[in-house]
């Protein structure tokens, strides 16, 4: 393995020279199924010394660039020249998830995560270094590009600034695509899908117009932009969240027959997904599924009777499977976690508080069972939670190393 400490050197440079320019670009090529990626560094002083990328050879190949580039099977170490330089490589786009793809490029469209084009990296830089980052795309003639940072029809977008190594993250869609846009609860919302794939863009916007404001009341730190991408019918048939964006298969209903909503579930994940630190998966999944029901109830999407019936079905499922709180949490175990939050909602209401107040405390404190217990104590509610598994760290692809 290539070893490199993520530390800062002790040199001193002028404050206006500590900011370097970081440019990301990618050309999508349907013929090869690859993206030709470039990362460009421009700096007045040698503030950024090296980048150590998490770049497994199964996804990333062909590394070359200015300065020294050292490659092994899992990581790539780029020693950046004093004035900057360019690193070039190829990224494989297609990726299977179970029986379907969660990243795909065809002759007419591509859907993927930006995280999978631009890998996370550890950095070595001078103290107080910062970056200004931009993003641009190209591809076949007449292709359009939609990202969580806005439409990118061969235009350059600002990604972030001030962080030592900001990188593009979240879902993107490219190709012959249709997009519907709106401003909802002060957020810029875009719903995009390939032309002819049967994704109901306007229905999705209508659903968001009545549910997103209620969600933002619970999660006021929700992203200023939201991109929802649909995709082809050969893609993975579910929903997947990422910073400021989510993927939803066109065959997923906005509201399922049991009253739950994959879209609302993933929107809760978008709301909490950018929080740093350890998290208990049962807590995050249980919270997302409970609020997917609760927000529909609050906004009139389902009746109180159907809300109670859906919770009862989840409780029965958990009981049949002898479910428990687990990391990771899926299926009946998540149904059991929903029951925990249903119980807490009732206890908090009787104590003169609310589950919304508990969520506010959690977002300020953390997303582990210990944080949950501490937040309940702060709200004056004494509850003995079931035994909890060890917390896990947030997914690496959502955090620049």
C-beta of residue 149 within 8 angstroms of C-beta of residue 224 = no
Q: Note whether residue 251 is domain-resident.
A: yes
Q: Note whether residue 394 is domain-resident.
A: yes
- Structure confidence at residue 347 (pLDDT): 92
154, 33: one domain: yes
151, 198: one domain: no
**pLDDT tens-digit series, residues 155-184:** 677 887 668 899 999 999 999 999 999 999
Mean pLDDT, rounded, for 87-110: 94
CATH number of the structural domain spanning residue 250:
1.10.390.10
Average the pLDDT over each of 8-17, 51-60, 64-73, 295-304 and give the range with the smallest value: 8-17
Residue 8: pLDDT over 80: no
191, 329: one domain: yes
Query: Is residue 38 exposed (0-12), middle (13-18) or buried (19+ Cβ within 10 Å)?
Result: middle
Q: Note whether residue 34 is domain-resident.
A: yes
pLDDT averaged over the chain? 90
Residue 246: pLDDT over 50: yes
Which domain covers residue 326, as residue numbers?
179-398
171, 190: one domain: no
CATH number of the structural domain spanning residue 98:
2.60.40.3650
392, 372: one domain: yes
Provide the domain count of the chain.
Answer: 2
% of the chain with per-residue pLDDT over 90: 81
71, 161: one domain: yes
Closest residue by Cα to residue 385 from 283, 311, 316:
283
- Structure confidence at residue 155 (pLDDT): 60
Q: Note whether residue 8 is domain-resident.
A: no
**pLDDT tens-digit series, residues 320-358:** 999 999 999 999 999 999 999 999 999 999 999 999 999
**pLDDT tens-digit series, residues 186-230:** 999 999 999 998 899 999 999 999 999 999 999 999 999 999 999
74, 35: one domain: yes
Of 177, 211, 230, the one marking the end of a domain is 177
246, 382: one domain: yes
**pLDDT tens-digit series, residues 26-41:** 999 999 999 999 999 9
Of 177, 196, 229, the one marking the end of a domain is 177
135, 200: one domain: no
Q: Note whether residue 13 is domain-resident.
A: no
297, 231: one domain: yes
DSSP code at position 367: B
Of 135, 157, 177, the one marking the end of a domain is 177
Q: Note whether residue 362 is domain-resident.
A: yes
- Cis, bond preceding 103 (omega within 30 deg of 0): no
Task: Find all residues with CB under 8 Å of 195, minimum gap 6, and list them.
Answer: 108, 176, 177, 178
191, 151: one domain: no
188, 236: one domain: yes
């Amino acid at each position: 393995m290539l070893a490199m400490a993520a530390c800062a050197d002790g040199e001193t440079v002028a404050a206006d020279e500590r900011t370097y320019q970081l440019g990301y670009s990618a050309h999508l090529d349907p013929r090869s199924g690859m993206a030709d990626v470039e990362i460009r560094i421009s700096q007045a002083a040698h503030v950024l010394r090296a980048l150590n990328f998490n770049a497994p050879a199964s996804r990333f190949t062909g590394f070359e660039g200015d300065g020294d580039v050292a490659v092994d099977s899992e990581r790539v170490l780029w020693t950046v020249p004093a004035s900057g330089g360019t690193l070039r490589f190829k990224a494989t786009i297609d990726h299977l998830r179970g029986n379907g793809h969660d990243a795909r490029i065809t002759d007419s469209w591509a859907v993927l995560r930006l995280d999978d084009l631009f890998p996370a990296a550890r950095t070595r830089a001078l103290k107080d270094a910062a970056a200004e980052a931009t993003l641009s795309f190209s591809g076949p003639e007449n292709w359009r590009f939609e990202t969580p940072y806005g439409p990118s029809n061969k235009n350059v977008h600002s990604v972030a600034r001030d962080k030592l190594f900001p990188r593009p993250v979240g879902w993107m869609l490219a190709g012959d695509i249709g997009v519907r846009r709106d401003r909802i609860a002060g957020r810029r919302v875009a719903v995009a899908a390939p032309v002819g794939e049967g994704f109901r863009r306007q229905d999705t916007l209508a659903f968001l117009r009545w549910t997103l404001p209620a969600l933002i009341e619970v999660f006021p730190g929700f992203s200023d932009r939201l991109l929802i991408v649909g995709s082809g019918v050969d893609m993975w048939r579910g929903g997947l969240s990422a910073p400021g964006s989510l993927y939803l298969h066109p065959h997923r209903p906005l509201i399922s027959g049991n009253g739950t909503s994959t879209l609302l579930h993933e929107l809760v994940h978008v709301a909490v997904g950018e929080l740093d630190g350890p998290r208990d998966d049962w807590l995050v999944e249980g919270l997302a599924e409970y609020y997917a029901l609760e927000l529909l109830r609050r906004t009139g999407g389902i009746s109180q009777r159907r809300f109670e019936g859906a919770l009862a079905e989840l409780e029965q499922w958990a009981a049949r499977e002898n479910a428990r709180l687990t990391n990771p949490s899926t299926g009946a175990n998540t149904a059991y976690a929903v029951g925990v939050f249903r119980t807490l909602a009732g206890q908090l209401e009787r104590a003169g508080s609310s589950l919304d107040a508990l969520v506010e405390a959690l977002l300020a404190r953390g997303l582990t069972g210990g944080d949950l217990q501490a937040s309940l104590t702060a709200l004056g509610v004494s509850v003995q939670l079931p035994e909890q598994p060890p917390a896990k760290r947030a997914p690496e692809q959502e955090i620049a190393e």
